[in-house]
Amino acid sequence: MSASQTARQRARAELTREIKQEARRQLAHDGPQGLSLRAVARELGMASSAIYRYFPSRDDLLTALIIEAYNSLGERAEQAVAARPRAGVRDRWAACCDAVRGWALQNPHEYALIYGSPVPGYQAPQETVPPASRVAIVIGGLLSESWAARGEDAGDNPGPARSPALPPPLDQQAAVIAAAIAPEVPGPMVARGLIAFVQLFGMISFELFGQFVGGADPADSFFRFTVGEMAEFVGL
């Protein structure tokens, strides 16, 4: 039964994949706004109306691409950290940053889709939230681990101790973030972790969107340097 079901279902799964793949190709040429169901259908050799058997509208296809992009990126970050269980927190932080940047350089248009300008008229549904959180969760885990291991090398890492207590409402926001992804970690360290997080994506956006041209381009060296500086800044 499950095998015979699969005859049709497998064809459906396959075509769904092909549609998304072709859509990703179009993203690269025309951006999210240029994503066209008709063009996808044309490229796949089917009637434009047939796409509607797979995605009820253009926006649903866009949502599927966004979720896939977040998951693909999140998975890369998770694997980069998980692959180095014996490495220190700083090394895993660096590996995570490299993984995120590597993914972005390999998939610049999907990066732009999720971290670039919002698509006019498109509202991301709630289902995108969990995939979108995966990288933050990875980094939160590193913060937690680093905090839990404090004292062992406290001399090297005065880190967050330099920061005064957070002003409201940032203190509350940091507490909420900590509760979600880095329990036990004190507010100032969470806030600095958020700064490092913003720095990571800020750098990648600058690099991909061409703001470094004539300055820190190629950006490899600056990226590596900054990742190290941020590790120290956060107190990892």
Contact footprint for a second copy (CB under 8 A): 29-31, 33-34, 112, 115-121, 124, 129, 136, 162-163, 166-170, 173, 176-177, 191-192, 194-195, 198-199, 201-203, 205-206, 209-211, 214-216, 218, 221-222, 224-226, 229, 232-233
**Token pair for 1:** 């039964």
Does position 15 interact with DNA (CB under 7 A)? The reply is yes
Per residue in 160-173, is it b (16+ CB within 10 Å) or e — as a string? beeeeebeeeeeee
Contact pick of 24, 58, 150, 224 for DNA (by CB under 7 A): 58
Closer residue to DNA, CB minimum distance, 57 or 106? 57
Closer residue to DNA, CB minimum distance, 17 or 162? 17
* 17-46 positions binding DNA, by CB under 7 A: 35-39, 42, 45-46
Closer residue to DNA, CB minimum distance, 33 or 117? 33
Q: What whole-number distance in Å separates Cα of residue 187 and Cα of residue 234? A: 12
**Pick from DNA, a second copy, none: which does 106 bind, CB < 5 to 8 A by kind?**
none
Can you give the length of the chain in residues? 236
Contact pick of 17, 28, 29, 49 for DNA (by CB under 7 A): 49
Give kind and range of the element (H or E) at residue 138. helix 134-148
User: Least Å distance between CB 59 and DNA?
Assistant: 7
User: Least Å distance between CB 232 and a second copy?
Assistant: 8
- Write the CA distances from 74 to 99, 111, 130, 132, integer angstroms: 9, 12, 10, 8
- Write the CA distances from 181 to 8, 81, 115, 128, 193, integer angstroms: 41, 16, 20, 17, 11
The site for DNA, by CB under 7 A, has a size of 28
**21: Cβ contacts below 8 Å, ≥ 6 apart:** none
The answer to whether 28 and 37 are in contact (CB under 8 A) is no
Q: Which residues bind DNA (CB under 7 A)?
A: 1, 4-9, 11-12, 15, 35-39, 42, 45-50, 52-54, 57-59
